[in-house]
């Protein structure tokens, strides 16, 4: 006797719950993502095969442009950045107001000499983004960049330093930085590179 096959019914899946979960996850990731702050100038670091990642917290950054200008980015803590500005102001004879400290905190990287920093911080925030700066001085007679680093380390010795230089930066400029770090006996730092691609 022939077996009777039951009639197949199409399965109806309600996708409403799946769409809700998808949009909730998407909203969560958008709201909690920390976006990378843009560099002050375009820097293309050299390539390497290293896959080590930078630490998330307590990180200072020095950016070196192709024409040899230095930019210093302090850590993202308002109290420590404010203390750093006071310490550098005391060293160079400049007093900063509370408004200037807030402007300093909002500025991702400093690229002006100390004698121009007060006027730079008093500019409106949208103008500061477009001002062409000379960079933080670092040569044999004026080592302001090293003073920024050493003052930061006095505030918190746990700070780590990362250097991001352009592949086309002249070596003597980077050598000055390394020699300045040697003078303050700071020997451990990261060099930021881009990942080498297979050809």
Per-residue model confidence as pLDDT tens digits over 92-115 = 999 999 999 999 988 888 889 999
Comparing 105 with 6, the larger pLDDT belongs to 105
| Band of pLDDT at residue 173, cut at 50, 70 and 90 | confident
Among 94, 79, 49, residue whose Cα is nearest residue 197: 49
Domain residue limits at 137: 57-195
The two structure tokens encoding residue 64: 């070196």
Domain count across the chain: 1
User: pTM of the entire structure?
Assistant: 0.74
DSSP, collapsed to helix, strand or coil, labels residue 116 as helix
| Residue 14 counted as domain residue | no
| Residue 40 counted as domain residue | no
Condensed to tens digits (0 to 9), the pLDDT of residues 12-24 reads 777 778 888 888 8
| Residue 90 counted as domain residue | yes
Condensed to tens digits (0 to 9), the pLDDT of residues 16-71 reads 788 888 888 888 888 887 665 555 667 778 777 777 777 777 889 999 988 888 99
Report the b/e string of 174-185 with b at 16+ CB within 10 A: bebbeebbeeee
| Residue 185 counted as domain residue | yes
| Residue 9 counted as domain residue | no
| Residue 133 counted as domain residue | yes
| Residue 1 counted as domain residue | no
């Amino acid at each position: 006797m022939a077996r009777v096959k039951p009639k197949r019914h199409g399965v109806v899946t309600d996708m409403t719950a799946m769409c809700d979960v998808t949009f909730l996850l998407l909203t969560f990731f958008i709201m909690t993502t920390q976006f990378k702050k843009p560099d002050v100038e375009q820097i293309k670091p050299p390539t390497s095969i290293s896959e080590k990642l930078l630490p998330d917290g307590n990180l200072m950054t020095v950016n070196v442009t192709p024409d040899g200008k230095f930019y210093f980015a302090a850590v993202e803590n308002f109290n420590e950045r404010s203390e750093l500005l006071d310490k550098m102001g005391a060293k160079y004879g400049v007093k900063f107001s509370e408004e200037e400290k807030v402007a300093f905190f909002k500025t991702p990287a400093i690229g002006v000499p100390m004698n121009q920093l007060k006027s730079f911080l008093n500019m409106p925030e949208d103008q500061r983004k477009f001002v062409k700066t000379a960079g933080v001085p670092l040569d044999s007679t004026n080592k302001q960049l090293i003073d920024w680093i050493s003052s930061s380390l006095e505030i918190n010795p746990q700070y780590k330093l990362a250097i991001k230089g352009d592949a086309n930066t002249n070596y003597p400029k980077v050598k000055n930085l390394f020699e300045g770090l040697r003078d303050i006996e700071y020997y451990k730092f990261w060099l930021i590179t881009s990942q080498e691609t297979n050809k």
